[in-house]
Amino acid sequence: MRHALLGAALLVCSAGVRLQSSQDLAAKGVADTWHELKDGPHKLAWFHAPGTATSFGATLMHYASPTLPRSVGAEDLRGWDPFFRFYPPAQWFKDGLWVEKCDHAPVTDEVYQEYKGHFAGLFRKPMERIASKWRPNFWLPIDAYARRTNGTVALELAGEAFGEEYTEFPGRKYCRGLRNASEGEAPPPNLDLAVQRLREGFMFVGLMEEFDLSVCLFHAMFGGECLPVEFENMRKGGPRSSYPELADLYNVDQVLYDIAAERFWRDVKAFGVHREFCRKLCANVGHIFERTEDDAGGNSTVNAYAERIEYDWPGRWVLDEGEEQ
């Protein structure tokens, strides 16, 4: 589904389903929008680069098949084979779900043409994504690992490599043992093709760093109830590890991230998504967006900026990166 976002105007998708702006949602009452906005299965292709939140799959699977049990979450998506044995695509995803044996499969020309306009996924700052995949006991120092994995998101999106092909130890098996990681550094990707596909093929883009707002935005755009399983891998935020070795390195995936970020914040504005809006829209998980004493307290670093505190706030919940893929 390709959407043209024109301010707060009403949108019409290719399937004829009427989508509404945040003003419409507020007028009608967000709790009443689930059945009105959408019903039945929905065509979907999840673009999932390594280190960009398996948890988001819960949101997407419940969109693709609204009749899935409410308890289906990220834990169920850590292996495609068992998941699809329990929930056969022909039965549960009748409108068409991109199904592959590998979680981080490349977007081939055939796949792109089939699902153009129906891709959805999260993007992440390249160096943070690399740091999340690297471990101190890896065979390479983190700066060498960053060079080896340069452009892996673009390679996957352009259909040139599997997501794990250069993030794993050379020769190590991945994709249920069906493939081996390659030697050396990743080749230069077809960045122009990856950019074109990101601009033209995605119905939704979110940001890993803005996971809570990304899930909220998805529901604001496409309807559906915010389920607790979508946020079950979140915790109160704390300091993150930093790696000075990465400070001067450049990753070509930054181009994709910048495009995704620009669109994300444009969509956030167009649909009126902010913390208070999400607290009402996602009432089932109100603690994720709840107000705290720190919001107006002297130890708040953002309380002087009324608008900013709707997008970043003290004690904000974040994903537990150790559990994400």
Determine, yes or no, domain membership for 52.
yes
**pLDDT at residue number 303:** 42
What are the structure tokens assigned to 98, written together? 């991109």
In which domain, by residue range, is 302 found? 11-323
Determine, yes or no, domain membership for 3.
no
Determine, yes or no, domain membership for 176.
yes
Determine, yes or no, domain membership for 6.
no
pLDDT digits (tens, 9 = 90+) for 225-252: 999 999 998 887 665 677 888 888 899 9
How many structural domains are present in the chain?
Answer: 1
**Mean pLDDT of residues grouped by 10 in the chain (325 residues)?**
33 34 40 45 92 94 94 87 90 91 91 98 94 80 91 97 85 77 90 99 97 97 95 78 82 97 98 96 92 56 57 88 64
Determine, yes or no, domain membership for 241.
yes
**pLDDT at residue number 204:** 98
Determine, yes or no, domain membership for 1.
no
**pLDDT at residue number 34:** 39
**pLDDT at residue number 124:** 96
**pLDDT at residue number 21:** 40
What is the dihedral angle through the alpha carbons of 217, 321, 124, 301, rounded to the nearest 10 degrees? Answer: 70
Name the pTM for this structure.
0.83
Among the listed residues 184, 161, 190, 157, the one whose alpha carbon sits nearest the alpha carbon of residue 174: 161
Determine, yes or no, domain membership for 310.
yes
**pLDDT at residue number 1:** 35
Is-contact 97 62, C-beta < 8 A? Answer: no
Determine, yes or no, domain membership for 305.
yes
Beta bridge partners of residue 202, listed in sequence order: 119
Q: At what angle do helices 56-64 and 211-222 cross, to 10 degrees?
A: 10
pLDDT digits (tens, 9 = 90+) for 194-220: 999 999 999 999 999 999 999 999 999
Among the listed residues 269, 264, 274, 283, the one whose alpha carbon sits nearest the alpha carbon of residue 312: 274
